[in-house]
Amino acid sequence: MKNNIKSENKHISLEEMQKQSDFIAKVSTVNAQKEAVPRAFVETYGCQQNESDSEKIKGMLLDMGYEMCSDTGSADLVLYNTCAVRENAELRVFGNLGALKHQKRRKPDMLIGVCGCMMQQEHIADTIKSKYKHVDMVFGTHALYRFPQILSEAMENQRVFDIEDESGSIFENISVQRDKPPLAKVPIMYGCNNFCTYCIVPYVRGRERSRNAEDILNECRAVADAGYKEIMLLGQNVNSYSNDLSDGLKFHELLREVCRIDGIERVRFMTSHPKDISDELIQTMAEEKKICKQLHLPIQSGSDKVLSDMNRRYTRAQYLEKLAKVRRAMPDIVLTTDIIVGFPTETQNDFNETLSVLKEAEYDMIFSFIYSKRRGTPAEKLPDSLTDEQKHKNFDEMLKVQNEISKRKNDAYVGRTEDVLVEGVSKTNSETLTGRTEGGKVVNFSYLSSGLQADELIGTIQKVKVVQAQTWSLLGEL
């Protein structure tokens, strides 16, 4: 294993982590004296990185003597882990906070906290300070590891605002309360250096910083030992993993190491920036059996002018060439992307180019968003070319075009037998199990005629025959 010397500077000191452990002990002593075990409700908005952060928050809460509950009504502590990428997620948080005001009036001991990306924006923290006085704790992404101290202070009736911008810290050895097996999320790096002109992430999550490979691999080994079968490696731009380390493994080398871990059967990763996809990564994906043949490669727009205005640093042709390379190496690969409709400089012609790139690229699925102005980003100052009404019309048209492509792609699976990692009982039909193909497609399938119990199947990889295709998922039989 190579040494990662530079990165050591970024780690929160052992003394600081010890201080937080002392706060954990302090809070759990207080909680142990309560009549009933206190209950905590944590709600997560946004991306998988936020979900991963929430798993740490829940881990710390359990260490501090809480049990988790699934509604605010029975909670002694409510915490929202927020997302700042688009305005609608922010509005929902404010709505929920407003509703909690009455609940807190009835139950004055209740503690309310808000954390995550939204809180790294000064104007948001200021609004909460002045207008949401029932909120006890506000802390940003960089203060996550200080949650025990923040909670301890809030329990002593202080209002705590911990929103320092310390871009660039890494903390290890925090308890993690994951969802049940088989899927585990493992962050490999934090932050982003790309500064796409529409995006708030570099401002609220700071600069790219990579965890040491040994810490990542130890976490992967631990989740394998705990029975997890699939690992999702997380980062805003996983292809630049270790660029900030003096002597770290490159991303494709890290992937190979993760594949060597016994017990792990599938490895995925999110997200890749198209400009940074390397030939070595494509080759590694093609060669390593455990790496799922699935790639999420956000294109954002099909127009070169808009891509340039977005500071994406690739052209449509360069992007499509990468996609072709990926398909040459892995003809069956499942490809997905992100699209923004209504970026300020996008004209109707530019939008038509996005439609044409969707037809050309033939993604299995897209995640599409109407552009949302973010305060402090370069695109904030750009005047709009299209009306809101036109943007919504374009958005609907794009979905129609893509739905046809997605359905056609899924139709090709009918009759095939796929390896499906069984995740659980379907939410809509208790006689059906749900899981994912290697390509990440959701399959809902019947299993009763096999004579096997759901518990025996969940967490295992099974052969499932696809019998019907829908736009967003497949139906099958074990």
Q: Which of 8, 102, 195, 375 binds ligand SF4 (CB under 6 A)?
A: 195
236 binds ligand SF4 (CB under 6 A): yes
Asked whether 272 and 236 are in contact (CB, 8 A), the reply is no
User: Nearest CA to 229 among 418, 423, 56?
Assistant: 423
Taking the least distance from each CB to ligand 5AD, the nearer of 119 and 213 is: 119
Q: Give the one entry of ligand 5AD, ligand SF4, none that residue 273 binds, where binding means its C-beta sits below a cut-off of 5 to 8 angstroms depending on kind.
A: ligand SF4
Taking the least distance from each CB to ligand 5AD, the nearer of 132 and 369 is: 369
Q: Supply the minimum distance, in Å, between the C-beta of residue 368 and ligand 5AD.
A: 8
Taking the least distance from each CB to ligand SF4, the nearer of 121 and 149 is: 121
Binding region for ligand SF4 (CB under 6 A) out of 103-111, 174-182, 195-203, 439-447: 195-203
201 binds ligand SF4 (CB under 6 A): yes
Q: Give the one entry of ligand SF4, ligand 5AD, none that residue 269 binds, where binding means its C-beta sits below a cut-off of 5 to 8 angstroms depending on kind.
A: none
Taking the least distance from each CB to ligand SF4, the nearer of 66 and 343 is: 343
How many chain residues bind ligand SF4 (CB under 6 A)? 10
Instruction: Measure Cα distances from 319 to 134, 197, 326, 466 in Å.
Output: 48, 18, 11, 32
261-280 footprint of ligand SF4 as x/- string (CB under 6 A): ------------x-------
Residue closest to ligand 5AD when measured from CB atoms: 338
Q: Which of 112, 196, 291, 333 binds ligand SF4 (CB under 6 A)?
A: 196
Q: Sign of dihedral through CA atoms 317, 318, 323, 326? A: positive
Q: Which of 61, 77, 151, 192 binds ligand SF4 (CB under 6 A)?
A: 192
Taking the least distance from each CB to ligand 5AD, the nearer of 289 and 375 is: 375
202 binds ligand SF4 (CB under 6 A): yes
Q: Give the one entry of ligand SF4, ligand 5AD, none that residue 369 binds, where binding means its C-beta sits below a cut-off of 5 to 8 angstroms depending on kind.
A: ligand 5AD
194 binds ligand SF4 (CB under 6 A): yes
Binding region for ligand SF4 (CB under 6 A) out of 1-9, 13-21, 93-101, 197-205: 197-205
Tokens, residue 12: 């929160």
Q: Supply the minimum distance, in Å, between the C-beta of residue 104 and ligand SF4.
A: 34
Q: Give the one entry of ligand 5AD, ligand SF4, none that residue 236 binds, where binding means its C-beta sits below a cut-off of 5 to 8 angstroms depending on kind.
A: ligand SF4
Q: Supply the minimum distance, in Å, between the C-beta of residue 237 and ligand 5AD.
A: 11
Tokens, residue 469: 């295709």
Q: Give the one entry of ligand 5AD, ligand SF4, none that residue 192 binds, where binding means its C-beta sits below a cut-off of 5 to 8 angstroms depending on kind.
A: ligand SF4
138 binds ligand SF4 (CB under 6 A): no
Rounded-to-10 torsion of CA 341, 343, 345, 350: -20
Q: Supply the minimum distance, in Å, between the C-beta of residue 219 and ligand 5AD.
A: 24
Q: Supply the minimum distance, in Å, between the C-beta of residue 372 and ligand 5AD.
A: 4
> What are residue 370's DSSP bridge partners?
341
> What are residue 234's DSSP bridge partners?
187, 270
The identity of residue 38, as a single letter, is P
d(CA 33, CA 240): 48
Asked whether 362 and 412 are in contact (CB, 8 A), the reply is no
Q: Give the one entry of ligand SF4, ligand 5AD, none that residue 472 binds, where binding means its C-beta sits below a cut-off of 5 to 8 angstroms depending on kind.
A: none
237 binds ligand SF4 (CB under 6 A): yes
199 binds ligand SF4 (CB under 6 A): yes
Taking the least distance from each CB to ligand 5AD, the nearer of 85 and 155 is: 85
Q: Supply the minimum distance, in Å, between the C-beta of residue 249 and ligand 5AD.
A: 26
User: What residues line the site for ligand SF4 (CB under 6 A)?
Assistant: 192, 194-196, 199, 201-202, 236-237, 273
